[in-house]
A and B are shown apart, each in its own frame.
Chain A
Amino acid sequence: MLATRIIPCLDVKEGRVVKGVNFLGLKDAGDPLELAIKYNEQSADELVFLDITATNQKRETILELASRLARELFIPFTIGGGISTIKQIEEIVTAGADKVSINSAAVKRPELITEGAEQFGSQCIVIAIDVKRVGKEWHVFTHSGQKDTGLDAVLWAKEVQDRGAGEILLTSMDRDGQQDGFDLEINRRISESLHIPVIASGGGGKLEHFVEAVTKGKADAVLAASVFHYGTYSINQVKEFMSSKGITVRL
C-alpha cells in the first residue's frame, strides 16, 4: 500500500535556509544540504526547496544547490520559486532536481504547464496553488498571496490537471504559518475532484492536524515547514502518530 508522504519545506535565500517569523525578520537557519540530510535521516519522503532570493545571483545559487543535493541525497526533491520559463525548468532538472514547482507563472501563462509536461514528463511538473477563502469560495492568489486572480480554486486545479501537471501543492494562505490546522474543506474538495495527487500545505502545527489532513482533507501528501524547523516535532514523531491512527506511512 502506498504511504502518505510527509514533506518538509525549506525556504532558501542566497543559498542559505531562512526561517521567517510572521513574514518578518528572516533568520539564517543553516546550510540547505545539512538540513536536507538531517530530514532525510528522520525519514522525510521528499523535500521541497523554495528559493526566495530576489537578486541576480538567484539562478546560480539555486542550481548549485540542486547539483549538490543530487550528489548526496537519494530521495526526490522539488525546487520552486519564480520559475517561469521552459529554459529555467530545464536548467533545474539538468542540475539534478526531480521536480519543479510552478506558481504565478502557471496562472499567467497556463501553456507553460503543458509544455513542461510534454518536455519533462508530468511527474516533473508540480503546480503550486495558493488559495484564500473569499466568501463561500476559494480564490487562487499569486505573488506570494498578494494578488487575487479571481480564479476559482477547484476549477483552476482541474485545469492544471488537464494541462498535464503531475501533482498539486495546495497552500491555504489563511492557514499558512498559523499552525492551527490545514484547511480541510478546500483540500477535500480539490482532492476529490482530481485524479492526480494533492499535497496539503499551510497550517500543520499539532500531530492531529497531519492525521486530519489525510482522513478529512483527503490529502495524498502533507507538507510543513515551521513545525519541523522549530523542532516542535520530528518527522518520525509525526509519522509514528499517523501510523498509530491507521495511516500508512514509511517509517
Chain B
Amino acid sequence: MIGIINYRAGNLQNLQNSLEFVGVKSKILNSPAEMKGFEKLILPGVGAFGHAIKNLQDYGFWEPLEKAVEKRIPILGICVGMQVLFSTGFEVGKHPGLGLIPGEVRRFQTKLKVPQIGWNRVRFENPENPLLKNIEDQRWFYFVHSYACFPDELNHQLGTTNYDVDFCSIVSRDKIWGVQFHPEKSQRDGLQLLKNFATNCQ
C-alpha cells in the first residue's frame, strides 16, 4: 500500500487513478497521523516551490517525511514533489527545501517558451535502476514546469532531459526517487514507472 501525501498541492485523483490502473493500492493521506504503516510514499505536487514548502510545514508533513527517510521508507517525488527534495529553490524568492538531495532548483535560462509544456525525452544515466525496469532509454514523458533541478552530485542524476539546457529529469539517492515529469500523464511508460516504484523500489 502506497501513501500519497496530500499537502494541498494539486489534484491527486489522477495519480490515484493511474496507480489503480496498474493494480497498485494507494491511499491519500490528509494528515501526518495517517502516515503510519505505509511501506512507500509518493510526494506529488503542482505549483510554486515556496508554496509547496510552506504547505508541507503548515500541514505538519515536514518532520514526518524526514523521519520516513531515516527509516528508509522509499519515497517518490513527482514534479514539485521532486523539487522540494532538493536543498534550495529559487521560485518567488530563495527557499530551503527538504535537503534530501544536495542541489538547486532554478528557473530555465533559455529563449524557448517557459514553462516547458509537453512531451520530452529522458536519457537514462543508469538503466539498471529498479525505477526504470522495462522502460526503454530515450522515451517520451509529459512535462509542465518553469523551474528545473540541478543536483550537486552527478551520481544522483538518474535521468537527463534537454530543454535548451540539460537538466535532471529523474533523481535517485538511496531510497529516494524523484521525477520532474508527470508519470500519471505519460501513458504506457509513465504507468510502467509507477508500477516499478510500487514493485521494484525496495
Contacts and interface: CB of A to CB of B under 8 A. Distances in A.
A27 interface: no
B116 A2 contact: yes
B140 interface: yes
Contacts of A72: 21
Given A3-B119, A220-B118, A195 B113 contact: yes
B9 to A, nearest CB: 9
B8 to A, nearest CB: 11
Nearest to B13: A96
Contacts of B186: 74-75
B185 A250 contact: no
A166 interface: yes
Nearest to B141: A250
Contact of A220 (B11, B117, B184, B191): B117
A45 to B, nearest CB: 6
Given A70-B14, A74-B185, A93-B11, A123 B115 contact: yes
Interface in A1-46: 1-5, 40, 45
B121 interface: yes
Interface in A74-124: 74-76, 93-94, 96, 98, 121-124
Contacts, number: 82
A130 interface: no
Nearest to B80: A121
Contacts of B30: none
B10 interface: yes
A116 B121 CA distance: 30
Interface of A is mostly: loop
A2 B10 contact: no
Given A71-B21, A74-B18, A74-B184, A3 B117 contact: no
A123 B17 contact: no
B46 A250 contact: no
Contacts of A194: 113
B162 A40 contact: no
A48 interface: no
A74 B187 contact: yes
B114 interface: yes
A128 interface: no
Of A3, A76, A194, most buried by chain B (CB within 10 Å of CB) is A76
A1 B120 contact: yes
B163 interface: yes
A75 B187 contact: yes
Given A96-B13, A123-B46, A197-B113, A74 B118 contact: no
A221 interface: yes
B47 A121 contact: yes
A196 B17 CA distance: 29
A121 B10 contact: yes
Contacts of B46: 121, 123-124
Contacts of B184: 74
A51 interface: no
22 contacts: A1-B120, A1-B121, A2-B112, A3-B118, A4-B118, A45-B119, A70-B13, A70-B14, A71-B21, A72-B21, A74-B187, A74-B188, A75-B185, A76-B142, A98-B14, A123-B115, A123-B144, A166-B117, A195-B113, A196-B114, A196-B115, A220-B117
Q: Which 3 A-B pairs have the closest CB atoms?
A: A250-B119, A123-B144, A250-B140
Interface of B: 10-11, 13-14, 17-18, 20-21, 46-47, 112-121, 140, 142-144, 162-163, 182, 184-188, 190-191
Interface of A: 1-5, 40, 45, 70-72, 74-76, 93-94, 96, 98, 121-124, 166-167, 194-197, 220-221, 250
